[in-house]
Amino acid sequence: MQTSQARFEVATSGRGTTNITQKVREAVRASGIRTGLCHVFIRHTSASLMLCENADPSVRRDLEAFLARLVPDGDALFHHTAEGADDMPSHIRSILTNMDLTLPVSGGQCALGTWQGVFLYEHRRDGQRRDLIVTVQGET
Amino acid sequence: MQTSQARFEVATSGRGTTNITQKVREAVRASGIRTGLCHVFIRHTSASLMLCENADPSVRRDLEAFLARLVPDGDALFHHTAEGADDMPSHIRSILTNMDLTLPVSGGQCALGTWQGVFLYEHRRDGQRRDLIVTVQGET
Amino acid sequence: MQTSQARFEVATSGRGTTNITQKVREAVRASGIRTGLCHVFIRHTSASLMLCENADPSVRRDLEAFLARLVPDGDALFHHTAEGADDMPSHIRSILTNMDLTLPVSGGQCALGTWQGVFLYEHRRDGQRRDLIVTVQGET
């Protein structure tokens, strides 16, 4: 068994999703690992990682509409507003959707279902540079 | 250290939970791994995996009532309705409750707490065939 | 590659968060593993683990206010009230915020982002003893 680890950065253009499936698949291929696990991690507290339907963009628009209603920017409930109306909602959205994600590796590939894509979800309104670590562990 | 991987399918009968703890425990035993981790993955975007109280079925009924209120089927907010009123809510419920789950393995067994069960949560109203992968990694 | 596993207990003083980052970091250091993954697990269904902003305590107060509004104690929706008005909300909060967490290990350290802390989130109103397992896997 062996461990392979890679870092990459994603520049986001504000609130919304970025499909990082190809980057994750490339890290798995580069590792040479045939059977095991692939862990993806985002080193921030106001952006997250998720598996989501990868075919129809309206799924991610509806998800954004849902989260915007569930955790409204500028809600009077929030006192932590140092970085603006989207500060605290970004932390809560990240906690609800998670910053870590673990996927199976089979036959040298990330064994996602047909409709599963890996997405970085930026919750801040302004674009950010986001730092990610992919760790692949298993048998070559 | 070694990796062991198994696939299984669960036929669901529509929205609700299926206790898959025994299937996960069997995969751990079959792996022969004594100390390590067990990763469970569902290869879909409208069903999820969760740890939940395993003794009183009213816990899962109350959870379902909560999610049905939080993410209402047929909500006018949603445009992605190609597969019906439960289509988009199924994606959101899956994202909120997750499609991956990692458990510790100790003494050759899945080291769950006394009240923890592993449940597949079907979010679609109709029954589906769901494809899962269990990966166990550790020392024999 | 090798696996290292440790258990520890946290006594909580009722609903709220406990920073366990140092305990997790110590388990990583004690393992001697340089590159790999660190998995943290809580063996309960009414307390959870999360990554959260670690600098300003108002973030966790606002998160608590949000969850108290989202999943109200004593909600008439809930029938599972055997252990009180906070019983069912504690299960739902745990499911929404998760009982498992996996972090990357790089250079012999837990590779958290600058603002990421690991928190145990107690959801019951009374203090409890919570049992955790940390598993570190990777290359020394």
- Residue C54: what residue type? N
Given the cut 0.85, state whether the ipTM is greater than it. Answer: yes
> Which positions in chain C touch B56 (Cβ < 8 Å)?
80, 82
- Distance (Å, rounded) from C-alpha A2 to C-alpha C106? 14
Give one word for C51, left, alpha or beta, with left for phi > 0 and alpha for psi -120 to 50. Answer: beta
Which stretches within A47-86 are classed as H helix?
57-70
Inspect the interface and report whether the beta carbons of B3 and A138 lie closer than 8 Å.
yes
Q: Is B73 on the interface with A (CB under 8 A)?
A: no
Q: What is the strand order of the sheet C116-122 is part of?
A: C16-19, C116-122, C47-53
The answer to whether residues B131 and B44 touch, using CB atoms and an 8 Å cutoff, is: yes
Q: Which tokens sit at A50? A: 């998720």
A129 touches chain B (CB under 8 A): no
Q: Which amino acid is at A93?
A: R
List the beta bridge partners of residue C120.
C18, C49
- Note the residue count of chain B: 140
CB within 8 Å: B131 and A116: no
The pLDDT score that the predictor gives to residue C119 is: 98
Is A17 inside a domain boundary? Answer: no
Interchain proximity A51–B45, CB inside 8 Å: yes
* Partner-chain contact B44 A112, CB within 8 Å: no
Q: Rounded to whole angstroms, what are the CA distances from C131 to A64, C48, C49, C99?
A: 36, 11, 12, 11
Chain-centre distance for alpha carbon A102 = 11
Name the pLDDT band for B122 (thresholds 50, 70, 90).
very high
pLDDT value at residue C130? 98
Q: Tell me what pLDDT residue C22 has.
A: 98
Q: DSSP string of chain C? A: -EEEEEEEEEE--SSEEEE-HHHHHHHHHHHT--EEEEEEEE--SSEEEEEEE-S-HHHHHHHHHHHHHHS-TT-TT----TT-TTHHHHHHHHHHH-SEEEEEEETTEE---TTEEEEEEE-SSS--EEEEEEEEEEE-
Q: Residue A44 domain-assigned? A: yes
Angle value at C-alpha A59, between A57 and A63, nearest 5 degrees: 125
- The answer to whether B140 touches B32, Cβ cutoff 8 Å, is yes
Pick from A1, A63, A103: CB nearest B2: A1
Identify which of C43, C92, C137 has the shortest CB distance to residue B63. C92
Q: Considering only CB atoms, which chain C residues are within 8 Å of A42?
A: 113
Q: Which residue of A has its CA nearest to C121?
A: A95
Amino acid B71: pLDDT: 98
The pLDDT value recorded for residue B113 is 98
Structure tokens at C43: 């063996």
User: What is the per-residue pLDDT across B78-92, written as a single tens digit (0 to 9) for each?
Assistant: 999 999 999 999 999
The whole-angstrom distance between residue A62's C-alpha and the CA centroid of its chain comes to 17
User: Given CB atoms, is A102 within the 8 Å cutoff of chain C?
Assistant: yes
**What pLDDT, in 10s, does the model give residues A44-59?**
999 999 999 999 999 9
Question: What's at C7, amino acid-wise?
Answer: R
- Burial of A40-55, coded b for 16+ CB within 10 Å and e otherwise, reads bbbbbbbbbbbbbbbe
Flag whether residue B137 sits within 8 Å of chain C, measured between CB atoms. Answer: yes
DSSP conformation class of B108: T
Does residue A71 lie in a domain region?
Answer: yes
DSSP B20: -
Read off the pLDDT band of B54 (50, 70, 90): very high
Q: Strands, E, within B20-99: which ranges?
A: 35-42, 47-53
Q: How confident is the model at residue B97 (pLDDT cuts 50, 70, 90)?
A: very high
Can you tell me the distance from the alpha carbon of A134 to that of A24, in angstroms, rounded to the nearest whole number?
Answer: 7
Shortest Cα distance, chain B CAs vs residue A61, angstroms:
9
Touching check for A135 and chain C: CB below 8 Å? yes
B111 touches chain C (CB under 8 A): yes
Q: Which residues of B touch A115 (CB under 8 A)?
A: 44-45
pLDDT tens for A59-99 read 999 999 999 999 999 999 999 999 999 999 999 999 999 99
Q: Measured between CB atoms, does A19 come within 8 Å of chain B?
A: no
Percentage of residues of chain B with pLDDT beyond 90: 100
**Digit-coded pLDDT (tens) for A91-125:** 999 999 999 999 999 999 999 999 999 999 999 99
Instruction: Give the dihedral of Cα atoms C139, A120, B39, B18; nearest 10 deg.
Output: 170
**At B94, which CATH number?**
2.60.120.460
Chain A's closest residue to B71, CA to CA, is: A66
Tell me the shortest Cα–Cα distance from B138 to chain C, in angstroms. Answer: 6
CB proximity C52 to A under 8 Å: yes
Inter-chain contact C113–A44, Cβ cutoff 8 Å? yes
H/E element holding A88? helix A87-97
pLDDT band, residue B101 (cuts 50/70/90):
very high
CA of B13 vs chain C CAs: smallest distance (Å) = 22
Pair C137, A137: CB distance under 8 Å: yes
Which domain range does residue B91 map to? 2-139
Among A36, A61, A113, select the one facing B3 at the smallest CB separation.
A36
Q: What is the pLDDT of residue C44?
A: 98
Mean pLDDT to the nearest integer, C8-29: 98
- pLDDT value of position A16: 98
What residues does B118 pair with on adjacent strands?
B51
Q: How far is CA B74 from CA A56, B12, B84, in A?
A: 18, 22, 8
The pLDDT, as a whole number, for residue C62 is 98
Q: From the CA of C75, how many Å to the nearest CA of chain B? A: 10
Which candidate in B1, B45, B81, B130 is best for mutational testing of the A interface (most A CBs within 10 A)?
B45
- Chain B contact present for C106, CB below 8 A: no
Q: At what angle do helices C87-97 and A87-97 cross, to 10 degrees?
A: 90
pLDDT in tens, A7-25: 999 999 999 999 999 999 9
Q: How far is CA B3 from CA B66, B86, B137, in A?
A: 38, 37, 4
Number of domains present in the structure of chain C: 1
The three-class DSSP label of residue B30 is helix
* Chain A with chain B: Cβ pairs closer than 8 A: 91
Q: What is the mean pLDDT of residues A28-55?
A: 98
A97 assigned to some structural domain: yes
How confident is residue C79, by pLDDT bands cut at 50, 70 and 90? very high
**What does the mean pLDDT of chain B come to?**
98
